[in-house]
């Protein structure tokens, strides 16, 4: 299926943008035309689309003269003299949006019940405009946005950069990407299991509670070896990407590269601190959990999640602001309702903020709870307000997620359609090559037979030889040789 408009128009190509822009900027003239009402001098065009009749003014269609309906000569090819109307055997629901495009002066609205593939194909048929069609394709994942990629000038660095950054550049790059994912998963597994009591080191304490000796488990050697191998892989990959990157400043400012650097930093810091006897900072190890974000380089699902959060940033900030205001209000109210009670845990307003957070998010750990009447009233209001506050931006976030998910699904469908089209084209070319080889073989066999017959007749006239029963056999051998050579 093709999603790009073909059969480009050649007439007045330089004025196309100006005329399309005029359709968007003449809304005042359109409003004036509608206020004038019906005029007998205005020609009404009857359009029949799949059995459904539409009517509009000729001047409405002429607002976009480069489209199919706006060009009188082109649309007359679909004129039916028996019914006196234009007939199109096309998708009727889509034409309602197309007709509104002419009536509104350039506003295109796709109904949600019409698949994007059908809608785009109808726009291509009616030649609405390449820019509008391309925008719809990009917004819905049918076409990738053409971005000029910044590549290194040095050819070896360029090949290495494509190998590391683009898994689709070659089969070796795909294998490298898969291996990277496996190593990331292995590193995350090691990060988790090393905290188990079986693998964790044991600390021997003295009588006064100080650490006397640290005893490592029997698995410490191979776990250290695996961690070192993983870090070596990440380090080599990071250094290679740093060396061959086209722009060093953009490389260091990239979020993914910052995560890559932070994921390998704790290992080298631990080596330095241990070797210099400055103590162990085990909290730095928690940074290694950032390696999970390295999977976003190879996971479309994580990319969809990241794009959703990025597109919903304003709504999430609004949610955070609302929660801050509500936490401040209910934390203060519950403190003044409970602080006089003996044994209360609401000892200050900041300590009451924790109760407000877990209450408004409907978690409710139970470690802090009001016991007075007014405190329970405040708690009830906090629950209701928390549910309403959190529910406000949820539809927007869900809508953004659905948009990016649909875009990714359309991209996959388009990619599969292109692969099938390329496969069918390759099969067609293969069949044509086979047919060509067969024709060449037949022509070669005919030429051999003709030359053999001609030579035998000449020799027979000259009396040099008699008919040889091996002529047919020799001809068969030559045909077989020709078949081998051609194939």
Tens place of pLDDT per residue across the chain (487 aa): 333 333 433 344 444 444 444 444 444 455 445 545 556 567 889 999 988 999 999 899 989 998 999 998 999 999 999 988 999 999 999 999 999 999 988 888 888 888 888 898 899 999 888 888 888 887 777 777 666 667 778 888 888 888 888 887 888 888 988 898 898 888 888 888 887 877 776 666 666 656 555 666 677 778 888 888 998 999 999 999 888 888 888 888 888 888 888 888 888 887 776 544 444 455 667 777 777 877 877 778 888 888 898 888 998 999 999 999 999 999 999 999 998 888 888 999 998 999 999 999 888 888 888 999 999 999 999 999 999 988 888 888 888 888 888 888 877 877 777 777 777 777 777 777 777 777 777 776 677 666 666 666 666 666 655 444 444 445 455 555 544 444 4
In this predicted structure, what is the pLDDT of residue 148?
Answer: 65
* Tokens 């051999």 sit on residue: 448
CA pair distance 39, 48, nearest whole angstrom: 23
Phi-psi region of 51 (alpha: psi -120 to 50; beta: other; left: phi over 0): left
Q: How many CB atoms lie within 10 A of CB 3?
A: 20
Nearest to 211 by CA among 142, 299, 280: 280
Measured CA to CA, the distance from residue 176 to residue 256 in angstroms comes to: 18
What does DSSP say about strands 44-49 and 52-57: parallel, antiparallel, or unpaired? antiparallel
pLDDT of residue 214: 62
DSSP code at position 333: H
Q: What is the CA radius of gyration of the chain?
A: 38
Q: Give the CA-trace dihedral at 237, 238, 244, 246, to 10 degrees.
A: 140
How far apart are alpha carbons 100 and 388 in whole angstroms?
39
368: number of Cβ within 10 Å: 18
> How far is it, in rounded angstroms, from Cα 295 to Cα 235?
16
Long-range pairs, 481-487, Cβ under 8 A, ≥24: 482/441, 482/444, 482/445, 482/448, 483/441, 486/437, 486/440, 486/441, 486/444, 487/437
Question: What's the gap between Cα 236 and its chain centre?
Answer: 28
- Burial class of 386 by CB neighbour count within 10 A (0 to 12, 13 to 18, 19+): buried
pTM of the predicted structure, to 2 decimals: 0.60
The whole-angstrom separation of Cα 392 and Cα 186 is: 40
Q: Maximum distance among all alpha carbons in the chain?
A: 137
Phi, psi of 324 (to 5 degrees): -60, -45
Q: Both tokens of residue 35?
A: 């206020």
C-beta of residue 86 within 8 angstroms of C-beta of residue 47? yes
The contacts found for 126-130 with CB under 8 angstroms, 24 or more apart, are 126/67, 126/68, 126/69, 126/95, 126/98, 127/5, 127/9, 127/66, 127/67, 127/68, 128/64, 128/67, 128/98, 128/101, 129/20, 129/64, 129/66, 129/67, 130/5, 130/8
Q: Which long-range contacts (CB under 8 A, 24 or more apart) does 428-437 make?
A: 437/486, 437/487
Residue 10, CA distances (Å) to 73, 259, 304 in order: 14, 51, 40
Beta strands (DSSP E) in 196-311 are 202-205, 211-215
What token pair was written down for 326? 């509500």
Pairwise CA distance, residues 450 & 443, whole Å = 10
Dihedral of alpha carbons 230, 231, 236, 239, sign: positive
CA distance 26 to 407: 33
Question: CA triplet 41, 71, 85: central angle to 5 degrees?
Answer: 60
What single-letter DSSP state applies at residue 43? Answer: P
SS3 45: strand
pLDDT value of position 247: 85
* Burial group, residue 450, by CB count within 10 angstroms (0-12, 13-18, 19+): exposed
Q: Report the SS3 class of residue 302.
A: helix
What is the C-alpha separation between 333 and 428, in angstroms, rounded?
A: 77
């Amino acid at each position: 299926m093709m999603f790009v408009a073909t059969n480009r128009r050649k007439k007045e190509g330089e004025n196309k943008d100006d005329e399309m822009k005029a359709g968007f900027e003449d809304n005042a003239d359109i409003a004036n035309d509608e206020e004038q009402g019906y005029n007998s001098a205005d020609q009404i065009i009857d359009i029949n689309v799949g059995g459904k009749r539409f009517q509009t003014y000729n001047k409405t269609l002429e607002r976009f003269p480069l489209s199919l309906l706006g060009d009188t000569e082109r649309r007359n090819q679909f004129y039916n003299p028996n019914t006196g109307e234009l007939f199109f055997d096309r998708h009727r629901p889509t034409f309602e949006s197309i007709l509104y495009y002419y009536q509104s002066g350039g506003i295109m609205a796709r109904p949600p019940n019409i698949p994007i593939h059908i809608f785009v194909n109808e726009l291509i048929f009616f030649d609405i405009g390449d820019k509008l069609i391309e925008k719809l394709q990009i917004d819905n994942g049918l076409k990738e946005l053409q971005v000029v990629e910044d590549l290194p000038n040095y050819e070896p660095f360029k090949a290495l950069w494509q190998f590391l950054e683009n898994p689709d550049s070659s089969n070796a790059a795909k294998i490298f990407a898969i291996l990277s994912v496996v190593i990331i998963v292995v590193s995350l597994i090691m990060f988790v299991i090393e905290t188990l009591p079986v693998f964790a080191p044991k600390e021997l304490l003295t009588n006064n509670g100080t650490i006397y000796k640290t005893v490592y488990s029997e698995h410490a050697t191979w776990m250290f070896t695996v961690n070192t191998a993983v870090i070596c892989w990440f380090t080599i990959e990071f250094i290679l990407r740093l060396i061959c990157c086209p722009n060093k400043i953009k490389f260091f400012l990239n979020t993914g590269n910052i995560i890559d650097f932070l994921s390998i930093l704790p290992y080298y810091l631990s080596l330095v601190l241990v070797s210099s006897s400055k103590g162990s900072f085990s909290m730095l190890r928690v940074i290694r959990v950032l390696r999970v974000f390295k999977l976003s380089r190879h996971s479309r699902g994580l990319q969809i999640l990241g794009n959703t959060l990025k597109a919903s940033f304003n709504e999430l900030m609004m949610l955070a602001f609302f929660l801050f205001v509500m936490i401040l209000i209910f934390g203060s109210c519950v403190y003044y309702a409970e602080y006089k009670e003996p044994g209360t845990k609401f000892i200050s307003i900041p300590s009451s903020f924790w109760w407000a957070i877990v209450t408004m998010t409907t978690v409710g750990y139970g470690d802090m709870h009001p016991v007075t009447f007014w405190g329970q009233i405040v708690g009830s209001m906090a629950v209701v307000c928390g549910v309403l506050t959190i529910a406000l931006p949820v539809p927007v976030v869900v809508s953004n997620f659905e948009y990016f998910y649909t875009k990714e699904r359309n991209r996959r469908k388009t990619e599969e359609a292109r692969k099938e089209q390329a496969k069918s084209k390759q099969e067609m070319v293969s069949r044509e090559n086979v047919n060509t080889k067969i024709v060449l073989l037949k022509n070669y066999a005919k030429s051999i037979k003709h030359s053999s017959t001609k030579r035998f007749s000449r020799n027979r006239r000259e009396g040099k030889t008699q008919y040889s029963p091996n002529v047919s056999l020799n001809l068969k051998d030559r045909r077989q040789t020709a078949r081998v050579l051609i194939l």
